[in-house]
Structure 1
């Protein structure tokens, strides 16, 4: 399941648990594979560098959900990705194969292909954390709930630091995928309205873009000097 998307030893106590997770565990795969079936909300996303998440937030500010259903064959699933932005929605379906803590894309024969996504440990009882090293290196926090606690979010922020990814972006929490218009049926007038909203959002978040670019340039220069 390919996704759209500095180690600091900190610990946070999750709801109903007394044992914190530190970097030593947060960077490791889960030991027992979770049940993937059902709806998962993508709560937050981190990328290797900050620019993809900053642009995602500054332009689209989308909400994502994935409806996962079994395809009858053991460990083979179909994931319907739901995306909503500015009141418009689109869906995309992708099959994947689960092999314990690994998630693979599949070919036409439903055989695993490519590098797998890895399910990392989390103290959130109804969450999964997916690390992808595909074209875009991403760390995703998914939950069966539409919102999570501050402690759970802070743990994910720590997890991103542990694997040396950028600060996570908390996605739009609007999970109403029923009352939205199909993006394929958008009119020219509606398209122009969305472009205007994107422009206004970019203006209001331009400092975040500038700060991210400055961090990237600084990291590049520092790496070259060292």
Structure 2
């Protein structure tokens, strides 16, 4: 029974990738030919990902933007990530190494490390689209603008469909980081927890879907063996 479900899930996954026009997918899933200038501010407009990450973004509904500055070491950049969620703000800094159309983490020697994110084609002139590795399966749309056109968003949604990812989630566009609540504010923390609980209730159907997909996936891993089992792990 489980083998049948796993095969069915795999077939459905492959068929969902083939739904959009093949020529559109062939173009949109190609890496960019020329590396973009990363320096400056980029707003995270939308994401598409696995069901679990989709649920997290729906519940938390953050606004995120990234300040990118070049380092003295060639092709190494500082990424200052600013996140705002229901009035609470947080910052995170990481370094990335750019090699043509790839973005790598940086090791202690300022050299590329790990599996890269790919920069994919986009018709949006001031946007970049990054595709995470096969484990995370995270597609992100960045723009120099806080909002983009419906046509530009539609193109990103098509890219997500080509990859068989979940419905695109547009993030919050509030990027005012001048008036942030303190992380130590107990009332703000309690209010955030209530909001999260309400959003979980509102997204009950999605929660059940995520649990079901996660359970099915884990079952498939147990059933899979040898090369096919490894294939399912790598391609999930």
Question: Which segment is superposed worse, 209-218 or 193-202?
Answer: 209-218
Distance 2:27 2:154 in 1: 15
Correspondence 1:8 to 2:9: no
Does structure 1 retain, via aligned residues, the 8 Å contact 2:107–2:113? yes
Does structure 1 retain, via aligned residues, the 8 Å contact 2:20–2:161? no
1:142 aligns to what? 142
Could you tell me which of 200, 208, 213 is aligned with 1:202?
A: 200
What secondary structure sits across from 1:22 in the alignment?
helix
Correspondence 1:50 to 2:51: yes
Structure with higher strand content = 1
TM-score by length of 1: 0.82
Q: How does 1:123-142 map to 2 (within 5 A)?
A: 123-133=123-133, 135-142=135-142
1:32 aligns to what? 34
Q: What is the Cα deviation at residue 46 of structure 1?
A: 1.0
Q: How does 1:1-226 map to 2 (within 5 A)?
A: 6-10=17-21, 22-47=24-49, 49-58=50-59, 60-133=60-133, 135-183=135-183, 186-213=184-211
Distance 2:158 2:218 in 1: 23
Structure 2: give runs of 5+ residues left out of the alignment.
1-16, 224-236
Q: Give CA-to-partner distance per residue, 1:94-118, whole Å, 9 cap, x none.
A: 0111001000111111011111111
CA RMSD of aligned residues (A): 2.4
Structure 1: give runs of 5+ residues left out of the alignment.
1-5, 12-20
Structure with higher helix content = 2
Q: Give CA-to-partner distance per residue, 1:168-188, whole Å, 9 cap, x none.
A: 1111111112221343xx222
1:16 aligns to what? none
Q: What is the Cα deviation at residue 190 of structure 1?
A: 2.3
Distance 2:72 2:164 in 1: 38
Does structure 1 retain, via aligned residues, the 8 Å contact 2:119–2:129? yes
TM-score by length of 2: 0.79
What secondary structure sits across from 1:92 in the alignment?
strand
